Structure 1
């Protein structure tokens, strides 16, 4: 059962950490300033949020990690928490076995129970770290409830569900949802996917009744599912009762690049929150490579920096854009927020390593904490074969040993930032705490560190 309260602080409650007890700001205004409001289901939501409320957003455990494209709802929840509201993150242990059809042209592959359980646990850990880092940045304790909808859905029979939910659903409305209508133009969709909107509606109704949750957040593609939940609550309670106990939705825009591409991809691959899937260096550099045309929007949408702080960063950035001040602030802030302060420090040192001269590499290697460098470090035993092409392929620096050999011939494979020779042994750098290390680089920025303890 996944039902915990996540708490994070700078140090301890007695040293500068404050609790939220009342509303401390206009959260809708804050989100609008940052370009994070797409739709409000009612104008009354602004007044409703003048008192502390409980708000939720769901997370789909279809993979073992979230990616940066999943961040907007989490950041919106962080803003709600900082303004004095109580967030709930709902991990879809039940709905994840189906998969949300919104925004998809094909049905998801079903996950087996063991994989789904492992995904839920991994994502829970990422969420705990994220909200702990939010608390560290804010200097205030952030109480976030994490729930798993399998907890209440596992005991609901088909007959119970049809009686409680199905009788209130209207096929005309369900068929009109964008996630359904768009699929009807092609090969159609299964009944399993068609029923997803009812499951999400049931989640909202359950949280509304059991936790006093009155607001659901989601991406713009979630408006239909959110509206289904509000409609279910209204039909079960009656319009008059909803005047005293309302339900609302707020959707967030799709974050895109200046060229219109969906945010969150690097060379066609997702940028994952889990370090084993996207290294600290790759994560940091994803944000560091942000074009000038996008950086202001990303600072507003993705960081917890105040509008005044962002304006100051952009003014300094505009004085000399070649220094990429705004991108560096964005990369550092996002790495701290998702991976933590130690990871951000490591990523900065690794970024320096990428561009360092061969003479500067040894000093930077000695400064680096290899234990915090994560998946970018490959550990070998003394006496193992040190062929650089084999190591480049086996560590995933390149796709194959043949590619590594081609790069070696073309002087595109580097050891300690100098064109590589086949053997690594004589180029290893002695480390102050014992052991030896070397940097292997392919092209401009793909990098691995070989460490012999």
Structure 2
């Protein structure tokens, strides 16, 4: 999980003493996505090993935009949107650590009891005047150093170039590190590998300020004498080189209102065999021995997707909790494993878990009013879009391809009845092997 280090002494430092660590995220959207998980879980590892952890939300830097990893200028977000996103992501980070700590407690005992600290860099940047910014950090940062960063060089070589605002982003983030080092004794910043230039800028600023204020003290590579360190995490990608969780431009969000728990779970079930070992290592707290055992079992029967199911269950539990993970597993079994003849019966608790995992606005869920009861099942199937027409629904039934609650429908005039709904709540209508709808009975 390590891409680069600013000093090889870092491992010795963290083994000798507990330090304060931080990672930042800009509120460029209302939710984090699975691409943010590797850094969050790295923070979690430090937290579970007794280090002080700070998650920094970029309420100020989000108003500028990080040029790293982009070939074009970011569109400026309205300040109100930045504020709203900041509040949303702050709650999400709080929820992540709450859920992750429970997840960890079920797997290990050596964890800290106090939650990590969450800060917003707008609290100090809003107090910083432009002249003060030019005097510090501006006076100590070398332009030639900034120009040498890959994120800046790539943009300078592009047709669009780079704005002064985005050019100064490294200084803003460097100032964040300096503030956290000064006021919270933070000595390590963590980020994705695309954050290397920003992190190095912060390390250099702290070292230069220290040398300026105490010229008799020389910085060195001796453990405990370096005052600031940087560590980057490899950006997770698929075996085909695509950004993790952003294939076809559709991010897999951590917010269940933006990506349902069911779809979140299914994303991990669908990952390629070649990607699973890395994701199990990077995104779960399973031991290396457990992961090796899972992958060996998977290799014997790859068609069962054993490793993917374990990955999906672990990450869903980590983010959304144990009950949500069980609901997603249940929904997947009912929808995609009809041969298992899984039935919920009238277990309202399990039905509630299933509906909670899929989400009430999911395209696979259709609400059925009591007035629709008594209609032919073929008409229901066509009107809800499960099949293209009433005629095709009848033909499908006659061919043995229409199922209700995973039982083949044989009566051509079969009507949808209240007794077909498990727990008087849901029924599963299936066409062929893969097309499913969850019918939810509601009263109007």
Q: What is the TM-score when the length of structure 2 is the normalising length?
A: 0.82
CA deviation string 1:279-320 (max 9, x = no partner): 111111111112221111111111111112212222322332
1:347 aligns with 2:324: no
Change (3 A) 1:446 1:268: farther
**TM-superposed deviation, 1:131:** 1.1
2: distance between equivalents of 1:95 and 1:424?
61
- Tell me which moved more, 344-353 or 409-418: 409-418
Aligned to 1:225: 198
2:157 is aligned with 1:174: no
Distance 2:181 2:388 in 1: 60
SS state of the match for residue 356, structure 2?
Answer: coil
The 5 Å alignment of 1:34-433 reads 36-50=1-15, 51-139=17-105, 140=111, 141=113, 143-186=115-158, 187-238=160-211, 240=217, 242=219, 244=225, 246-357=227-338, 360=341, 363=344, 367-369=350-352, 372-373=356-357, 374-375=359-360, 376=362, 377=365, 379=367, 381-383=369-371, 405=388, 426=416, 430-431=420-421, 433=423
For 1:182 and 1:356, the matched residues in 2 are separated by: 48
Q: CA deviation at 1:260?
A: 2.0
Query: Are the equivalent residues in 2 in contact too, given 1:102–1:221 (CA < 8 A)?
Result: yes
The structure-2 alpha-carbon separation of the partners of 1:184 and 1:133, relative to structure 1 and needing over 3 Å to count, comes to same
Q: Distance in 2 between matches of 1:189 and 1:446?
A: 49
Deviation digits for residues 391-410 of structure 1, max 9, x if unmatched? 56xxxx9xxxxxx7489959
Determine the C-alpha separation between the residues in 2 that align with 1:442 and 1:278.
26
Distance 1:442 1:130 in 2: 39
Answer whether contact 2:6 2:231 (CA < 8 A) is retained: yes
Deviation at 1:413, TM superposition (A): 10
> 1:57-108 deviations in whole A, cap 9, x for unaligned?
0112111111101111101111111222111110111111112110001111
Cα offsets for 1:253-292 (capped at 9, x unmatched): 1212222222113554111111111111111111111222
Query: Match of 1:147, SS?
Result: strand
Give the equivalent residue in structure 2 for 1:444. Answer: 434
Residue 18 of structure 2 aligns to a residue in which SS?
A: coil
**Cα–Cα, structure 1 residues 112 and 432, in superposed 2: closer, same or farther, change >3 Å?**
same
What TM-score, normalized to structure 1?
Answer: 0.80
Change (3 A) 1:441 1:173: farther
- Report the Cα distance in structure 1 between the residues aligned to 2:331 and 2:319, rounded to whole angstroms: 17
Which moved further from structure 2: 441-450 or 239-248?
441-450
Go from structure 1 to structure 2 and tell me whether the alpha carbon gap of 1:109 and 1:444 turns closer, same or farther (over 3 Å shift): farther
Alignment check: 8 A CA contact 1:349 1:364 kept:
no
Distance 2:253 2:172 in 1: 27
Summarize the Cα distance change of 1:431–1:191 in structure 2 as closer, same or farther, 3 Å threshold. same
Measured on the aligned residues, the alpha-carbon RMSD in Å equals: 3.2
| Count of aligned pairs between the two proteins | 406
How far did 1:372 drift?
Answer: 2.2
Q: Tell me the distance in 2 between the aligned counterparts of 1:440 and 1:131.
A: 38
Task: After superposing the two structures, state which structure 1 stretch, 97-106 or 374-383, moved more.
Answer: 374-383
- SS for the counterpart of 1:89 is strand
**Contact 1:429/1:436 (CA < 8 Å) preserved in 2?**
no
Note closer, same or farther for the CA distance 1:451–1:90 as it changes in structure 2 (3 Å cut): farther
Unaligned runs of 5+ in 2: 106-110, 374-378
- Tell me: CA distance 1:345–1:231, structure 2 relative to 1, closer, same or farther (3 Å): same
Closer, same or farther in 2 for the Cα pair 1:391/1:45, shift >3 Å? same
Cα drift, residue 442 of structure 1:
10
CA distance in 2, matches of 1:362, 1:429: 14
1:137 and 1:234, CA in 2 relative to 1: closer, same or farther beyond 3 A? same
